[in-house]
Chains A and B, each alone.
Chain A
Amino acid sequence: MSEMLNTLEQTALSEYKYGWVTNIEADEAPPGLNEDIIRFISAKKNEPEWMLEWRLKAYRHWLKMEVPRWPNVKYPDVDFQAIKYYSAPKQKKEISSLDEVDPELRATFEKLGISLDEQKRLSGVAVDAVIDSVSVATTFKTQLAEMGIIFCSMSEAIKEHPELVKKWLGSVVPVTDNFYSALNSAVFSDGSFCYIPKGVRCPMELSTYFRINAAGTGQFERTLIVAEEGAYVSYLEGCTAPQRDENQLHAAVVEIVALDNAEVKYSTVQNWYPGDKEGKGGIYNFVTKRGICAGVNSKISWTQVETGSAVTWKYPSVILKGDNSVGEFYSVAVTNNHQQADTGTKMLHIGKNTRSRIVSKGISAGFSQNSYRGLVNVGKNATNARNFSQCDSLLLGDKCGAHTFPYIEVKNSTAQVEHEATTSKIGEDQIFYCNQRGLDTETAVALIINGFAKEVMNQLPMEFAIEAQKLLAISLEGSVG
């Protein structure tokens, strides 16, 4: 037992690896939110008039909305007037090649293990790096452009491809959707835009890396992915933030559109700063992610590994509108110390023969609270809809909580919906079995946790799977007592 306590202590002491700050001169808006700030952001980005109108419409609607209270998380109210809504690394001029990127900034991403240099060619991942809500660099742009794939920052897309942005932006998550998505629509400063033309299979993983750097800022990025008929893309997202005592807000929106026979795979490894052991500081991660399978036989798959953030509030969803479309959600959510997570998914079956699969694994340790909240809705016309959901929770320690709130609404008799959930701890017999075979307790726990999360980890692209596994190890290994 004492051995277990030791390893528990070690784990508790393991620190957030990405907590440093980069000294980059930033171009910031004053704190506070009003129409002038929105005009300021829009002007800073040289946006066309329609974009400003769109933002203002969202802002005016946001004013009428209330902060959602239903998630199973507790945190002091966010003071929306104290946040700086725009912060960009200062750049002297437009940059045309990576060599011109601020060396300090490049060092930042090197430190994060994301090399913006061409050496990335070896691993074949195109990266769009976003720091404090502004896209600083996108790699492999020209190669992708040859295939007709557009992969660029959102502000660039607004300028270069207004017809595409106009058509799809807000089509999945309308500006009026919810409190934080309305806020995001009003103030988003950048994000990634990705467009895969008809019949193109994107040859490499596309990736966005988000980092909050400046203090007192909020990060509001907007991602839009459109896969035309028969297209395929796999998209990765990663995030980190410096260690600070204050709570910072991250309210992003991700929209995915998959047309006929298209497939989009979206993977996230979320590792925002979770706060210290006493629960001080950390990121509030209030994210709206939604995809629509608009065409027949289309498929959208969400995979997420959630280890960071003080408070997480996120439900990647799929609207299964096209006949025979498929939605998937694989999630591992780990909470430790005083972290709180309320996460899950929504699968809305509208088309015929639509299928969805939900696999959610929650691991709670320390004083944390981990909730799964999901909705499976089968509409009247969704003949032969099929859903399978599984959510398992693992409790490490007797001060943490694991909660499950699955909503199932069925309006069609041909639907087949199954849901199962279990909650348990790592059994003493399991540990004993491993000990007997020469594995020490720490290794045994790591083995069991990895096995517990494997079903989800297997869904991650190779590069991410390794990072995610390491993250799991840092967050948890050995924390059984």
Chain B
Amino acid sequence: MSELKELIQNKYNNEAFDGNGSLQSLSQKGIQLFNDQGIPTVKHEEWKYTRIANVLNKDFSYAVNATAVTKADVDDVRLPGNESANELVFINGIYHAELSTVRSSADELVIVPLSEAAKGEYKAVVDANLGHSANYHPDGINAMNNAFAYQGLFVAVKKNKTVEHPLYCYYINDARSNSVLSQPRTLIHVGVNAEVFLVEEEITIGSSDSFTNRVSEIIVEENANVHIYKIQNEDSHSSCVKTTHVRQVGVSKVNSVTLTLNGGTIRNNLNFILEAPGCESHMYGLYCVKGETHVDNHTIVDNVMPNSFSNELYKGIIDENATGVFNGKIFVRQDAQKTNAYQSNKNVLLSDTANVNTKPQLEIFADDVKCSHGCTVGRLDEEALFYLRARGVGEKAAKALLLHAFAGEILDKIELEPIRKYADVIISERLGFEF
């Protein structure tokens, strides 16, 4: 692990970021914490089931030449529906304006580097929110990203605007010549009464290893409506830790769907901090994995103020030697009376070498609440299979049908038609389901 420490420290020293204010102090705090804490081991409760150190124990390069990626490379990986989307392209963690396409006008959508936003009109927003996720993840991984947060991107959705063109974010790693470590960072501010769709995908070009350590912080103002869709479908050389930290500072509604289809070691941190009374949050996840994929979903719902509602449903289909990890935390603070929080995690194991570790966790400090969580691990319902087979459906087809229905509950939550169809096709193919 000393190599990684050296790599990070050298980059930090070489770049010698000389800003001031919140970016500078976050960067300093980040490098310090990273050096103190290092990479978490399995003794760290939050990393008990994910050996992240094994992933990082490789010879990575950081900050390779970004221009090697061409327009044609990006064309290969674009998601359906892109013709009417804003496409933000990040190469090795850094936003690349020339390869990106912004269709929305500037009075709707503002896209500027964080270092610029920290000085101008959005200074207050950046100061108050950048690095907030560190309160929930005081570990070396989050700190490592904080150290270089000044290279990040700031996105603002102006108030009273419904962004018609969804935001597609491609985080592209160029691993054609060597292994790549990248650390994208975004801060997204969704103004009062605004609505926006975010679609995020990590992509690795080339066959060397890649590791993405991404932190996205999203601030949602009053009456805003945000949809966040994440698609993870890389090969087994690509691993990532993704932290999506949502602060609902006004009465607002946020929907999140996380689809994990393939990859190496994938860790998703998804935090919802409900800081205003009456917030509504929906978190859905589907992990349909096989091979050696290791997927770890850690979610936090922190109910700070009263009358909030949150609903969480994560489903897993795990085959071959894959591992699924789920840890859902619900905190209900003392003032958060009348909170309704639900959480459910359902897993289907398809092979004897598949693995599930799940830990749904409730921490409740207020009495007038309704909270529940449930989780199940099992096989397909024998009776349902029998029913189908008795009606002449072959065993394989019957299983596929049931699994597709199991997954469908999550896919249905995606409101962008092209994305939903795209995901459905991949999953149907994976499960051997024919329309």
Contact = CB atoms under 8 A, between A and B. Distances in A.
B421 interface: no
Of B351, B354, B364, B372, most buried by chain A (CB within 10 Å of CB) is B364
Contacts of A415: 349, 377-378
A275 interface: no
Contacts of B357: 407-410
B353 to A, nearest CB: 8
Interface in A387-422: 393, 395-422
Contacts of B98: none
Contacts of A409: 355-358
Interface residues of A, number: 35
B375 A402 contact: no
A404 B362 contact: yes
B376 interface: yes
B6 interface: no
Interface residues of B, number: 34
B352 A404 contact: no
Contacts of A421: 360, 362, 372-374
Interface of B: 45, 334, 337, 347, 349-352, 354-379
Given A401-B364, A410-B357, A417-B378, 5 more contacts: A404-B361, A407-B359, A408-B359, A420-B374, A425-B367
B298 to A, nearest CB: 14
SS class, residues of chain A in contact with chain B: strand
A415 to B, nearest CB: 6
B365 A401 contact: yes
Interface string A292-332: 00000000000000000000000000000000000000000
Nearest to A389: B375
B6 to A, nearest CB: 31
Given A407-B357, A411-B355, A425 B368 contact: yes
Contact of B375 (A408, A411, A413): A408
Among A399, A403, A404, the one with the most B-chain Cβ atoms within 10 Å of its Cβ is A404
Nearest to A397: B367
Contacts of B369: 395, 423-425
Nearest to A412: B352
Contacts of B378: 415-418
Given A411-B355, A412-B352, A398 B334 contact: yes
A395 B355 CA distance: 35
Nearest to B376: A418
A399 to B, nearest CB: 7
A60 interface: no
A413 B376 contact: no
B183 to A, nearest CB: 30
A57 interface: no
A410 B326 CA distance: 12
A402 B356 CA distance: 26
Nearest to A371: B363
Contacts of A400: 365, 367
B358 A423 contact: no
Contacts of A50: none
A380 interface: yes
A406 B334 contact: no
A75 interface: no
Nearest to A396: B367
Nearest to B352: A413
Given A410-B349, A419-B360, A398 B366 contact: yes
Ranked 6 nearest A-B pairs via Cβ: A413-B349, A395-B367, A417-B377, A420-B374, A416-B378, A404-B362
Given A410-B355, A410-B356, A403 B377 contact: no
A432 B173 CA distance: 62
Nearest to A426: B367
Contacts of A406: 359-361, 375
B413 to A, nearest CB: 23
6 contacts: A399-B334, A404-B362, A408-B356, A408-B357, A417-B375, A420-B372
Contact of B362 (A399, A411, A412, A423): A423
A246 B369 CA distance: 36
Contacts of B359: 405-408
A403 B367 CA distance: 12
A386 to B, nearest CB: 9
B356 A424 contact: no
B336 to A, nearest CB: 10
B258 to A, nearest CB: 20
Nearest to A400: B367
Contacts of B360: 404, 406, 419, 421
A354 B354 CA distance: 19
B355 A403 contact: no
A93 B259 CA distance: 75
A414 B380 CA distance: 10
Contacts of A424: 369-371
B352 A417 contact: no
